């Protein structure tokens, strides 16, 4: 990186550490920052610092939030009898945008993935079990991702919840709305057939 | 963005303003920053601020540099009789990495692109002409990108340099080394044939 100066090199290096940003993208971003007005660089730097300092974990659902409890857990109009288990705060945000769910959430911060060395103890499962012990919860909806890791995590959670005798459900698999059957993979097509319902 | 808190939303917005970073990537980056140790966020923020404050333009070749003149222009071992004209500091860095060129550079900061409203006056051409007036330069090597804008810019510069009677050359077009002829586009193949040399 010493083709560029020390400061530019360091910025490229820092950008390159972000997920999904390769060497070329890091260079492009660094030169963009340098070519912008100083206010723009300061706005980005401040946003980074403030978000890092101001955002913490909700002690109830474990999502990233700026208040504890988070806006969802602190909302008395939400139904505390249902908990949707998701892998990531972004998944929670995705379900919030649907405006179709009024229960609470629980964010695992990951999924079981032996390939990446992530086991059940690396997820926020103890916190989930603590919440369920209160006896207020009638249903746990497993909304982990529809991939190998997400399915394994859902099965694992279903297994450990069995003794608690709480209704445990999994979100439906099927063809996405607005999709074209022709382009849907075989496994999804098979799952959609398997999950067919009378209309 | 109010699905997330205000600070997270602002960070996502700031990331989303960077070139090549879409909404999803901005979310991913923001959550990555928040989930990291505070030192990592501070390192990135500081690198942004320091690079923006510490990097300026070289008054000779117009590249972005941390000193004026830049390391290349200030190097007495470089051959001042050749100037390679490039669009961008990254192109200059790419040629520097080859270790095959010992002359100086001139960075235009763009290329003529009527579609994007960029005309000759938006490039650092006046600075190039000022440098050529010194009479020290024997050759101007046009190394703008091998695309429509770069070719137009090279032709334009060749035209305005004509009255100065300085040798003006263009880097060769041809098949890339290590490439596979089968996958090279027709225009490049035609140019490679046209530019063939005896061996």
- pLDDT of B91 over the 50 cut: yes
**Nearest CB to A4: which of B40, B49, B93?**
B93
Top-tier CATH class for A64-173: alpha beta
Fold of B6-54: Helicase, Ruva Protein; domain 3 (1.10.8)
Chain A residues near residue B11 by CB distance under 8 angstroms: 47-48, 50-51
Please report, for chain A, the start and end positions of each structural domain, with discontinuous segments joined by +.
6-54, 64-173
- pLDDT of A59 over the 70 cut: yes
| B64-173 has the same fold as B6-54 | no
Please tell me the predicted confidence (pLDDT) of residue A66: 87
Q: Phi first, then psi: what are they for B134, rounded to 5°?
A: -60, -25
One DSSP character per residue, chain B reads -TTS-HHHHHHHHHHHTSTT--HHHHHHHHHHHHHS-HHHHHHHHHHHHHHHHH-EE-TTT--EESSSS-TTTT-TTSEEEEEEEESSHHHHHHHHHHT---EEEEE-SS--BGGGTB-GGGSTHHHHHHHHHTS---EEEE---SSHHHHHHHHHHHHHHGGGT-EEEEPPP-PPTT--GGGS-HHHHHHHHHT----
Chain B residues near residue A38 by CB distance under 8 angstroms: 52-53
- pLDDT (tens digit per residue) in B43-53: 999 999 999 98
Please tell me the predicted confidence (pLDDT) of residue A173: 84
| pLDDT above 70: percentage of residues in chain B | 98
- This complex has an ipTM of 0.72
- pLDDT (tens digit per residue) in A83-134: 999 999 988 988 888 888 999 999 999 999 999 999 999 999 999 999 999 8
Mean pLDDT of A164-168: 91
Please tell me the predicted confidence (pLDDT) of residue B135: 83
**B-contacting residues of A 104-123, CB under 8 Å?**
109
- How does the average pLDDT of chain B come out, rounded? 89
Question: Smallest CA–CA separation between A165 and chain B, in Å?
Answer: 32
**A-contacting residues of B 55-74, CB under 8 Å?**
55, 64-67, 71
Please tell me the predicted confidence (pLDDT) of residue B2: 57
Chain B residues near residue A30 by CB distance under 8 angstroms: 51
Mean pLDDT of B150-179: 89
- pLDDT of B138 over the 60 cut: yes
Mean pLDDT of B161-171: 91
Mean pLDDT of A11-23: 93
Please tell me the predicted confidence (pLDDT) of residue A1: 40
Mean pLDDT of A29-50: 91
Mean pLDDT of A59-64: 93
- pLDDT of B1 over the 70 cut: no
Can you tell me the distance from the alpha carbon of B83 to that of B140, in angstroms, rounded to the nearest whole number? 5
Question: Smallest CA–CA separation between B18 and chain A, in Å?
Answer: 7
Q: Which residues contact B39 (CB under 8 A, 6 or more apart)?
A: none
Judged by CB atoms closer than 8 Å, whether chains meet at B28 and A20 is answered as yes
Lowest mean pLDDT among A185-199, B63-77, B110-124, B145-159: A185-199
Mean pLDDT of A190-199: 78
Closest to A87 measured CA to CA, from A162, A27, A46, A146: A146
Contact A85, A144 (CB under 8 A): yes
pLDDT-derived band at A3 (thresholds 50, 70, 90) equals low
């Amino acid at each position: 990186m010493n083709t560029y100066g020390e400061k530019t090199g360091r910025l490229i290096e820092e950008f390159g550490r972000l997920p999904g940003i390769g060497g070329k993208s890091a260079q492009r971003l660094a030169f963009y920052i340098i070519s912008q007005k100083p206010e723009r660089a300061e706005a980005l730097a401040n946003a980074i610092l403030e978000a890092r300092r101001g955002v913490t974990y909700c002690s109830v659902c474990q999502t990233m939030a700026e208040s504890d409890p988070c806006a969802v857990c602190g909302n008395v109009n939400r139904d505390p009898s249902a908990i949707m288990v998701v892998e990531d705060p972004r998944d929670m945000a995705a379900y919030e945008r649907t405006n179709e769910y009024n229960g609470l959430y629980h964010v695992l911060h990951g999924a079981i993935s032996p390939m990446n060395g992530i086991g059940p103890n690396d997820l926020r499962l103890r916190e989930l079990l603590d919440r369920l012990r209160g006896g207020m919860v009638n249903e746990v909806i497993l909304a982990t991702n529809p991939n190998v890791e997400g399915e394994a995590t859902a099965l694992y959670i279903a297994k450990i919840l069995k003794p608690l005798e709480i209704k445990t459900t999994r979100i439906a698999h099927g063809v996405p709305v607005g999709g074209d059957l022709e382009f849907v993979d075989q496994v999804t097509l098979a799952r959609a057939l398997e999950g067919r319902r009378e209309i």
